[in-house]
């Protein structure tokens, strides 16, 4: 178990965004590629714990853990869970791994807590029919399924796998509720970062935004840890700063 600490005095309206950042470690989305990876990177089980901090906001203590496990039928399950006295988050995707690509089957998300509004999302992928059905806080929908689409959790795994495959620029078509938008990421350098495993060389990635955007997202992935995310920083337009750091990890060969 790790502690997720967000010190300060946060307005309650900001809390869902803070929880979402902690819950995703990246921005949520659904994706398709600007190009195929040069090589296919192997998928391996992982278990990782993270701590988080916010420079201003309501104190948030709890545990955050992310796991990736292969199922008996050969499919995979990717989960992220947060437990705290304020709110609990349960997020998961059941998917197939095909030729270096996450092919989602079912995605589930639930947020509940004492002082936050309960939220739920569900996505079901019907690849033969090329449609996606689901619900957002109880409201159902069915929309055409974009080619190579990903769920809000699986796209984060795809980003990591694309980095392992040697890609330097990634473009994803991201689903927001029942719609899609484009997210772009780019490698901007290499830096040494302090981790529980010592100082490690990392690949630094930024989310590409419009030139006048006041929001910034930076991520550091460690090749020595199979390109696991070891640090994330997000700066919001109001100046709020969120930081996520790796606390522990178990990488299965």
Which sequence spans correspond to the domains of the chain?
12-251
- The CA radius of gyration of the chain, in Å to the nearest whole number, is 17
- What is the DSSP secondary-structure string of 32-53? --SS--SSPPPP--EEEEEEEE
pLDDT, position 37 = 40
pLDDT score recorded for residue 20: 53
The pLDDT, as a whole number, for residue 25 is: 44
Signed CA dihedral, 19, 21, 24, 29: sign only: positive
The number of residues in the chain equals 253
**Cβ atoms of 29 and 151 closer than 8 Å:** no
Spatial separation of the C-alpha atoms in residues 69 and 157, rounded to whole Å: 12
pLDDT along the chain (253 residues), means of 10: 32 46 43 44 88 62 83 96 79 94 92 82 94 92 90 87 94 78 91 96 95 92 95 87 88 70
User: How far are the Cα atoms of 12, 43, 91, 96, 153 from residue 100, in angstroms, in the given order?
Assistant: 40, 8, 22, 10, 16
What are the tokens at 105? 């089957």
Residues 128 and 181: beta-carbon distance below 8 Å: no
Give the residue from 114, 64, 1, 116 showing the smallest Cα distance to 242. Answer: 64
Classify strands 241-251 and 139-144 as parallel, antiparallel or unpaired: unpaired
Residue 57 confidence (pLDDT): 54
Long-range CB pairs of 68-71, under 8 A, 24+ apart, other chains included: 68/43, 68/44, 68/157, 69/45, 70/45
Of the chain, the end-to-end C-alpha distance in Å amounts to 23
- Give the whole-angstrom CA distance, residue 89 versus residue 23: 7
Task: Kindly report the number of other CB atoms within 10 A of residue 75's CB atom.
Answer: 14
> In this predicted structure, what is the pLDDT of residue 93?
95
Six-digit token string for 34: 């600007």
Buried b (16+ CB within 10 A) or exposed e, 163-182: bbeebeebbbbbbeebebee
**pLDDT value at position 150?**
86
């Amino acid at each position: 178990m790790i502690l997720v600490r967000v010190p300060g005095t946060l307005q309650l309206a900001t809390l869902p965004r803070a929880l979402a950042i902690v819950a995703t470690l990246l921005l949520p989305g659904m994706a398709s590629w600007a190009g195929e990876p040069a090589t296919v990177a192997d998928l391996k089980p992982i278990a990782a714990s993270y701590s988080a901090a916010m420079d201003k906001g309501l104190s948030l203590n709890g545990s955050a853990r992310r796991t990736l496990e292969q199922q008996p039928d050969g499919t995979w399950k990717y989960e992220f869970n947060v437990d705290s006295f304020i709110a609990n988050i349960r997020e998961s995707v059941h998917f197939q791994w095909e030729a270096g690509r996450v092919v989602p089957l079912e995605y589930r998300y639930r947020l509940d807590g004492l002082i936050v509004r309960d939220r739920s999302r569900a996505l079901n992928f019907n690849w033969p029919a090329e449609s996606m059905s689901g619900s957002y806080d109880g409201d159902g929908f069915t929309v055409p399924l974009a080619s190579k689409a990903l769920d809000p959790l699986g796209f984060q795994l795809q980003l990591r796998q694309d980095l392992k495959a040697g890609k330097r620029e990634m473009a994803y078509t991201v689903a927001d509720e029942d719609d899609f938008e484009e997210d772009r990421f780019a490698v901007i350098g290499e830096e040494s970062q302090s981790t529980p495993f010592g100082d490690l060389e990392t690949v630094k990635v930024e989310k590409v935004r419009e030139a006048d955007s006041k929001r910034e997202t930076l991520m550091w992935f460690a090749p020595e840890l199979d390109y696991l995310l070891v640090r994330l920083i997000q700066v919001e337009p109001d100046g709020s700063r969120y930081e996520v750091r790796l606390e522990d990890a178990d990488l299965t060969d």
